[in-house]
Amino acid sequence: MTDENSETKANKRRTGRSPAYPFIPVQKAIEQARALHAQEGDYECPLPSALSAWGYGPKSSGGRQTLATMKYYGLIDISGEGDQRKIKVSDVARKIILDQREDDTERRALIRRVALEPVAHRSLFNEYPNHLPSDGTAKHFLMFDLGFKPDAAAELWEEFKQTASHAGLYEPSTKEDKQAAASSEDDLQPPPELKVGDLVQVTVNGQDLFPNGAKVVGFSDDGEWVFTDQSSSAAARHEVTLITAATGELPKVARPEVPSHLLKPAPEERPEGTRKAVFPLDEGDVTLIFPENITADGLGLLADYLDIFLKREKKKKEGQGQP
């Protein structure tokens, strides 16, 4: 159910011009996903039904904010447009709320993943990856680097602290604990050689990207980037750890060729069902590829991403003394 201040907070947000940010911390969002699943199961439901599951009426501004927040976390899937939208819990939400195993390692990893889905959360965590800063430092960053209004910065920061605590964003993972316990002699050893066929894990900001690992399919020419069968993007070598070495005969070449489709697609090639927009600048063209069926909500979220990205890049250039 809603708290008595939810409508006031939702109305306050409309008066400012801060970037979008989650309405509730991740633990409450997961409970809302649980409530929706208890009511509707795995099926899509009309928007009013989803709002009702969360304790809101069809015209409630708090309900609309909750809807947006659930989407920010990736806990719901939305189809359709406007008031005809249909809502259902996402696959990642199902895995979180239905996992009853005593070993909750995978569930906690998924909670950390959704906690960092919102753009504002990811920006905070990227800026402060090791531990929470002071309240004043965090609010200064939100206001002057990301463009949040003071009230929004304070509300977001309190929500992020609750999310970080519940998700364990700053708690060392099992792997990090093992690394910390290793001897200094072991720490000085170079990373093991990788080869095509090895089963590896890619870890970014302390988060493992592939629950079941990924197989190496190739390397960049300088060996600094690793391609896997689980992503079309390369991973930096320092982000890749070996799980299981490939068995059998090794490749005849020291560094195999990277499949051409992973390295550089043809100039006019782009994924099916997408459109391309090109913005000419003096320094070169900027290309944006986006889905043909992008929704109004998707465009709004894209605007939030671009707004934060442009503000941070402009701040960097100003810090470097560039016009």
* Residue 165 vs residue 273, higher pLDDT: 165
CATH classification code of 183-263: 2.30.30
Output the pTM of the full model.
Answer: 0.56
Segments making up each domain of the chain, as ranges = 6-167, 183-263, 274-319
The pLDDT of residue 224 = 77
Beta strand 235-236 with 240-244 is unpaired
Examine the pLDDT at 259 and tell me if it is beyond 60: no
pLDDT in tens, 128-146: 998 999 999 999 999 999 8
pLDDT in tens, 169-207: 998 654 444 344 343 344 434 556 888 888 888 887 667
